Structure 1
Amino acid sequence: MTTNTAENYVARARAGGYAVGGFNMHNPETTQALIEASIRAESPVFLQVGRAIVPHMGLEAAYRMTRRELDGTGADAVIHLDHGTYDEVFEALRLGFDSIMFDGSHLQFEENLKATRYIVQVAHSFGVPVEAELGSIPDASDGIDWSAHYTNVDEAERFVAETGVDFLAISAGVMHGLTSGDPLPLDIERIQRIRDVTGVPLVLHGASGVPGSDISAAIAAGVHKLNADTDLRHAFRRGIEETWARGDRQLEDAMSVGKSMMIEATIAKMREYGCAGASTAAVLTEARV
């Protein structure tokens, strides 16, 4: 049985006390950057087809682009559907995604539970693990009412027990994007309580901008998959802008610099999360030494 699976990545992270990064691609160059970072850092990675790229090119084209860039590289990577809708989940299973996230957080609790339970049954019949979300992740703002977003501990216990999800994305103080103010400290106690009552590995989305001390505390509390996009996307953009600031340049030149900066930013995330050096090949090599 292959060890290059989403479930195995997260199981190894849980056993090793680190988290695996889930990062979003936006075009071939950003996909190449994530794959190259995985190879250089000897790190497993979730290559995430998410909410930006799907409206841009469509789910099938995004998957085929990612698969084309990944195949033959030797990178320790899986292709993951991020924030998938109900219909997208089934299309992703047909296409051959390695893991999926169904986002029913916009639904009422009972509706989310019912839809997620059915999706888990179908996905597991394909051998595909499922991540689901409970609570909600707000868009970046300096005035968030967190009481409307935090994951309820009792609901999380029932949700996991009745759906059979493999990983649970929770809301504990993270947001999509960055604000101009200081980030709110993560609710580490809430994360610990959800870990204790559910027994499954937890996921935090919106890890860009979260201080390293909070990242470490979240991992210790039970988070073993961390999603980040904004920091990496900004690194790519910075490379393009700095290239064009020197005068007219070819788009390919600017994207090449952007890709290099994104590679370095991704490797830094992998080191921060503790997954650098945790690829299957790296672990096997160390075990033989």
Structure 2
Amino acid sequence: MKLAIATLLVGSAAAFSPAATVSRNSALSMSTATEEKTYAKLPASVTSGVVTGQALVDLLDAAKDQGYAIPGVNIVGTNSINACMEAAAKYGGPIMVTFSKGGGQFIAGKSLPNDADQASIAGTIAGAKHVHEVAKLYGVPVVLHTDHCQKAWLPWIDGLLAASEEHFAKEGVPLFSSHMLDLSEEPLEENISICKSYLEKFAKVGILLEFELGVTGGEEDGVDNTDVDSSRLYTQPEEVFYSYEQLSQVENGAFTCAASFGNVHGVYAPGNVDLQPIILYNSQKYIQEKIGSDSDKPMKFVFHGGSGSSVEDIQYAIGAGVVKMNIDTDTQWAFWDGVRAYEAKYHDYLQGQIGNPEGDDKPNKKYYDPRMSLRAGEESMAA
């Protein structure tokens, strides 16, 4: 539990506040992290509402330059979507609302057939439209993103891309800000070749590509890498450069890299996860030397499997050019913990429609109204 709390604290502080350059061995005091509302200095192109196209590139460049990472939080419905935006509005800064294929299916309804990904497509689109309708009311920039998409799941992305192309034709902006293609199970050349073909389509409507090299261990929402060979958890600089070189050939293409440096989905006891963020530093240096870049961080990196990670490792990774950090396990727990606490507090009022400690004839509707427990989950997740 202490690990989860530590991660939630750094989620609001390191994500929204520019961080000073920190060595891996530095001790950080996070005691007042969530008590202060602090905003990153946003580019002029970035305003409240859904951020896409060049504005998204500007936002991620600013995050890299200022030394912070934006939390990419997995959601499963409007309750968790709203909790993300509420947190961003309360504590300051941008937020990434992330849909998984399973999360999209859940939004549409688990009873629906999904043999052709139709429920996953419809639910993800519905969730995205919800964000478009309400994001500006929260007054914060929101990035609409989709998570791990394996090769077999590409029809899901095809459906979402079609929706973005339709939205772009009407509104001049895509429905989604970015998509992640996780083709890390394929050979490197095939992985990047497919990513490149999709980036060419994405670039035409202003969608950013996130791609994965190596694999993120553990299990999350249908992606099970619990038994993967440990060597695949660590990406090599040569692989990062090859990907950078190939994808940079796409005109107007924008991309981020989810390189593996020991990342694992889920929360584990200390000692079970061996993070090596030095891989990101080595990769940046390798690319810089290969292309002769003035920047010491030519690649924008993404930190997958962030739940339960130490403040130290998170800050060190951000220093290597991490601009986005995925959070799922910790925020799932936080939502449940809010519901659990609500039930514990009002337990005696939730045992029947009528009758509670105040009297045998007292009605309990205001306690078992689903909005009450769900709101408690939202508040806990936002915090």
TM-score bracket for the superposition, by shorter chain length? 0.7 to 0.9
Q: Is contact 2:101–2:124 with CA below 8 Å preserved after alignment?
A: no
Q: For residue 285 of structure 1, what is the aligned residue in structure 2? A: none
Residue 87 of structure 1 corresponds to which residue in structure 2? 155
* Whole-angstrom CA distance in 2 between matches of 1:64 and 1:221: 35
Amino acid at match of 1:81: T
Where does 1:193-208 land on structure 2 (aligned, <5 Å)?
193-198=282-287, 199-208=298-307
3-state SS of paired residue (2:148): strand
Amino acid at match of 2:375: S
Residue identity in the other structure for 1:205: H
1:33 Cα shift?
0.3
* Partner residue in 1 for 2:77: 27
Deviation at 1:94, TM superposition (A): 2.1
Q: Does 1:11 align with 2:79?
A: no
Equivalent residues in 2 for 1:70-219, closer than 5 Å:
70-71=132-133, 72-73=136-137, 74-84=139-149, 85-95=153-163, 96-139=175-218, 145-164=229-248, 166-198=255-287, 199-219=298-318
Task: Give the TM-score taking structure 2 as reference length.
Answer: 0.64
Query: Which piece of structure 1 moves more, 209-218 or 75-84?
Result: 75-84
Identity of aligned residues (%): 24
Please give the TM-score of this superposition, normalised by the length of structure 1: 0.84
Structure 1 unpaired stretches of 5+ = 265-289
Q: Please give the per-residue CA displacement for 1:245-284, whole angstroms capped at 9, x wherever unaligned.
A: 34125232211111100011xxxxxxxxxxxxxxxxxxxx
Q: Which residue of 2 aligns with 1:256?
A: 375
Q: Deviations over 1:55-74 (max 9, x none)?
A: 32323323322432452423
Q: Which of structures 1 and 2 has the larger relative contact order (alpha carbons within 8 angstroms, sep 6+)? A: 1
Q: Does structure 1 conserve the Cα–Cα contact (< 8 Å) formed by 2:128 and 2:176?
A: no
**SS state at 2:145 partner:** strand
Helix, strand or coil for the counterpart of 2:125?
A: helix
Shift of the 112–143 alpha-carbon distance from structure 1 to 2, 3 Å rule, reads closer
- Preserved CA contact (<8 Å) 1:172 1:188: yes
Secondary structure of 2:333's aligned partner? helix
Does the alignment pair 1:40 with 2:90?
yes
- Tell me how far 1:190 sits from its aligned partner: 0.7
Deviates more, 1:141-150 or 1:122-131: 141-150
Could you tell me which residue of structure 1 aligns to residue 330 of structure 2? 231
Work out the CA distance in 1 between the residues paired with 2:308 and 2:227. 17
- Cα displacement (A) at 1:175: 0.8
Give, in whole Å, the separation in 2 of the partners of 1:158 and 1:179: 33
Shift of residue 185 of structure 1?
4.2
- 1:59 is aligned, of 121, 125, 130, to 121
Contact 1:142 1:181 in 2 (8 A): no
Map of 2:290 onto structure 1: none
- Tell me the residue number matched to 1:271: none
Q: Cα deviation per residue 1:29-55 (whole Å; 9 max; x = unaligned)? A: 111100111111221111111143033
Map of 2:40 onto structure 1? none
CA offset digits 1:203-246 (Å, max 9, x no partner): 01110000001100001122111111111110000111122234
The number of residue pairs the alignment matches comes to 264
Q: Which amino acid aligns with 1:115?
A: I
Note if contact 1:93-1:126 (Cα within 8 Å) is conserved in structure 2.
Answer: no
Tell me how far apart the structure 2 counterparts of residues 52 and 20 of structure 1 sit (CA, whole Å). Answer: 23
CA contact (8 A) 2:241 2:286 kept: yes
Query: Structure 1 142/108 Cα, relative in aligned 2: closer, same or farther at 3 Å?
Result: closer
Kept in 2, the 8 Å contact 1:9–1:20? The answer is: no
Residue pair 1:25, 1:47 contacting (<8 A) in 2 also: yes
Name the structure 2 match of 1:220: 319
CA RMSD of superposed structures (Å): 2.1
Q: Higher Cα Rg: structure 1 or 2?
A: 2
Answer yes or no: is the 8 Å Cα contact 1:39–1:76 preserved in 2.
Answer: no
Task: Render the CA deviation track for 1:88-124: whole Å, top value 9, x for unaligned.
Answer: 2222222221111111112121211110110111111
Kindly indicate whether the alpha-carbon contact (under 8 Å) linking 1:48 and 1:82 is maintained by their aligned counterparts in 2: yes
For the 8 Å contact 1:49–1:63, the answer to whether it is kept is no
Amino acid paired to 2:93: S
Q: Following TM superposition, where does structure 1 have runs of at least 4 consecutive aligned residues deviating by more than 6 angstroms?
A: 141-144
* 3-state SS of paired residue (2:268): coil
Q: Provide the residue aligned with 2:18 in structure 1.
A: none
